[in-house]
Structure formats: structure tokens, C-alpha cells
Amino acid sequence: MTQAIIFDMDGTLFQTNLILEPALEATFNKLRSENLWKGATPIEQYREIMGVPLPIVWETLCPMHSLETRNQSNEWFQQELIVQIKSGNGALYHEVEDTMKLLAMKYPLYVASNGEMAYLQAIIEHYQLNRFIQKVYSIECISSNNKSDLVQWIIKENHITKGYVIGDRSSDFKAAKDNQLTSIGVRFDFAQESELELANYVVTSFKEILTIV
């Protein structure tokens, strides 16, 4: 029997809120320079949908734009996020490293994220999370853009029979339920109370996870 822990990245391990605003602002500045956007950058709107697959992000933020423009916007955004990470402007949540170090002694750890692989890899490399994490899985791995399917992929590839999905949004908790795993919600920046109600457990600090698993 293989028991494992699967983590979300944004808003769970990584404080995406620290780099979100400057990266999004830079992206919309480029759109404005191309006369493709007028008005303020929709930062609050993005905060509300944080954690959904990127195609949905750009459909929501730029509903009147062409698919080509949305794809270009996403490329600019990904580039800006990576610049912010490499510049040291982001951060892991408090106690993440110490907690993951202890967890990795007992369980294989994985990441399942709706983020793109280049972005995820930038976080992994900058914070040397490969010390603890066996493998990172991006939603790019599957065609459905469904986190439940991504977690199913991880389970099959790593012969997982039992474990936990730890995240902050409903897609994480649904992925756990759909795959007969236990969900732990983190009450951090992007978490919403109505969605946390779907989790089997909820923690307010990362080290609390040790009392559950």
C-alpha cells in the first residue's frame, strides 16, 4: 500500500499573491500598449477565480478578445511570473519547508497544479523543493483541464492507494473526493469559506497538517 500526499501549489505552498499583482499589471500594460485594453487591470477579478485552469482565466478576464490575444496575454503573464519568482519577490507560506521536510520522511510528496510547468519548475528550482517533492504535475499533462483527472493520473503512475490532497480551492477538494482520497483545505489567501466546507479537514497554519496525516 502506497500512501502519498498531493499538494496544490498556488495559495497552498506558494504565496502567489506576492507576485500576482506586478505580473498581471505588466501583462495588461502590454495589452494597453497594443491598444487591446482600456481601464484598470482586473486584479480583484483574478483573485476571485485564482486556481482555475488558465484558459478559463483569460476567457474571464478578456471575454471580448480573440483566442490569439488571450494566448498571447497568457504567454506574457507566465513570463512575468517567472521573472518575479527568479527575482525573489515571492515566498513559500510560513512553515512549508519544515513541515514538508518532516512529511517527506514518511510519505512520497507530489504537486498537482493548474499552473504551467515552466512556472511550477521556476518555483521548485528557486526554493529547492525537489528536496521534498518526488514529482510535479501540471494540468498541461492532460487534455481535459480537470484537476480530478490530473490527480487520477498521479495515482495511477505512482501506484497510490491511499493519501491526501492538500489545497485551497474546490477543485482540490473535488479531486480528492473523486479519487477516494482525503482532502485538507488551507485557509490562506485565496481560500473561500464556502469552498473550504467541501474539505474533510481545514487548517489555518501549515504545520497543522502534521496533526492530521
pLDDT values of the chain reduced to their tens digit, one per residue, 213 residues: 589 999 999 999 999 989 988 999 999 999 999 898 988 999 888 888 877 778 888 999 988 899 999 999 989 999 999 999 999 999 999 999 999 999 999 999 999 999 999 999 999 999 999 999 999 999 988 988 899 999 999 999 999 999 999 999 999 999 999 999 999 999 998 889 999 999 999 999 999 999 999
Query: Could you tell me the maximum CA-CA distance found in the chain, to the nearest angstrom?
Result: 57
pTM for this structure?
Answer: 0.91
